[in-house]
Structure 1
Amino acid sequence: MSNLTLTIACWGYDKVKPFLTGEVKIQGVDINLKKIWVQEIFRRMLGNKEFDASEMSFSAYINTLFTKDKPFIGIPVFLSRKFRLGYVFINRESSIRSPEDLKGKRVGIPEFRHTASVWIRGILEEKYGVPVESVTYVLGPMEREKSLNKYYIYVPQLDSTELYRNDIKIVRAPEGKVLSEMLAEKEIDALYHAQIPTTYYTTDKVKRLFDNYIEEDLKYFKEEGIFPIMHLLVIRRDIYEKNKWIAKALYDAFLKAKEIAYEELRVTGVNTYMHPWLEYEMEKITKLMGQDYWPYGVKANRKTIEKFIYYMYKQGLIPDKLGVEEIFAPETLDT
Structure 2
Amino acid sequence: MSIATQPLRLKTALKTYPHTRALKSGELTDPAVELVFEDIEPIHRAFAPMARKQVFDVSELAIVTYLQAKAYGKPVVLLPAVVAARFQQKCIIYNAQHGPLDVGSLEGKRIGVRAYSQTTGMWVRAILAETYGVPIDRIDWVTFEGAHLEEYREPSFVRRAQPGEALLTMLRTGELDAAILGNDLPDEPGLVPLIGDAAAADRSWYGIHPYVPINHVVVVTKALVDEHPQAARAVYDLLRRGKRSVAHERESGKPDPLLFGIDALRGPLEETLAFCDSQQLLPRKLSVDEIFADCLDVLGDAAR
Whether the aligned pair in 2 keeps the contact of 1:84 and 1:217 (CA below 8 Å) is yes
Whether the aligned pair in 2 keeps the contact of 1:163 and 1:316 (CA below 8 Å) is no
Cα distance 1:176–1:293, how it changes in 2: closer, same or farther (>3 A)? Answer: closer
Q: Which residue of 1 aligns with 2:160?
A: 172
Provide the C-alpha distance between the structure 2 equivalents of 1:217 and 1:196, rounded to a whole number of angstroms. 19
Offset at 1:251?
1.5
Does 2:279 match 1:315? Answer: yes
Provide the C-alpha distance between the structure 2 equivalents of 1:127 and 1:161, rounded to a whole number of angstroms. 31
Q: CA RMSD in A?
A: 2.1
Provide the C-alpha distance between the structure 2 equivalents of 1:128 and 1:161, rounded to a whole number of angstroms. 31
Whether the aligned pair in 2 keeps the contact of 1:77 and 1:251 (CA below 8 Å) is yes
Cα distance 1:96–1:244, how it changes in 2: closer, same or farther (>3 A)? Answer: farther
Q: State the secondary structure of the residue aligned to 2:171.
A: helix
Provide the C-alpha distance between the structure 1 equivalents of 2:195 and 2:237, rounded to a whole number of angstroms. 38
Whether the aligned pair in 1 keeps the contact of 2:103 and 2:132 (CA below 8 Å) is yes
* Matched residue count: 292
Provide the C-alpha distance between the structure 2 equivalents of 1:248 and 1:325, rounded to a whole number of angstroms. 19
Whether the aligned pair in 2 keeps the contact of 1:115 and 1:230 (CA below 8 Å) is yes
Cα distance 1:85–1:250, how it changes in 2: closer, same or farther (>3 A)? Answer: same
State the one-letter code of the partner of 1:118: M
For structure 2, the 5+ residue unaligned runs are none
Deviation string, structure 1 residues 186-220 (Cα, Å, up to 9, x no partner): 1011101213444x42xx33221123111111111
Provide the C-alpha distance between the structure 2 equivalents of 1:27 and 1:7, rounded to a whole number of angstroms. 16
Using the size of structure 1 for normalisation, the TM-score is 0.80
Deviation string, structure 1 residues 57-96 (Cα, Å, up to 9, x no partner): 111111111224x221110111110111111011214455
Using the size of structure 2 for normalisation, the TM-score is 0.88
Provide the C-alpha distance between the structure 1 equivalents of 2:268 and 2:133, rounded to a whole number of angstroms. 20
Does 2:288 match 1:324? Answer: yes
Whether the aligned pair in 2 keeps the contact of 1:139 and 1:170 (CA below 8 Å) is yes
Provide the C-alpha distance between the structure 2 equivalents of 1:31 and 1:162, rounded to a whole number of angstroms. 31
Provide the C-alpha distance between the structure 2 equivalents of 1:236 and 1:138, rounded to a whole number of angstroms. 33
Q: Which residue of 1 aligns with 2:56?
A: 51
- Residue from 20, 38, 46 that aligns with 1:41: 46
Q: Which residue of 1 aligns with 2:152?
A: 162
Provide the C-alpha distance between the structure 1 equivalents of 2:81 and 2:272, rounded to a whole number of angstroms. 16
Q: Which residue of 2 aligns with 1:134?
A: 138
Offset at 1:47?
4.7
Does 2:104 match 1:100? Answer: yes
What percent of counterpart residues are identical? Answer: 24
Q: Which residue of 1 aligns with 2:258?
A: 294
Offset at 1:21?
3.9
Provide the C-alpha distance between the structure 2 equivalents of 1:31 and 1:259, rounded to a whole number of angstroms. 19
Provide the C-alpha distance between the structure 2 equivalents of 1:161 and 1:99, rounded to a whole number of angstroms. 32
Provide the C-alpha distance between the structure 1 equivalents of 2:283 and 2:163, rounded to a whole number of angstroms. 31
Q: Which residue of 2 aligns with 1:274?
A: none
For structure 1, the 5+ residue unaligned runs are 141-156, 267-281
Provide the C-alpha distance between the structure 2 equivalents of 1:186 and 1:6, rounded to a whole number of angstroms. 47
Provide the C-alpha distance between the structure 2 equivalents of 1:300 and 1:47, rounded to a whole number of angstroms. 28
Offset at 1:129?
0.5
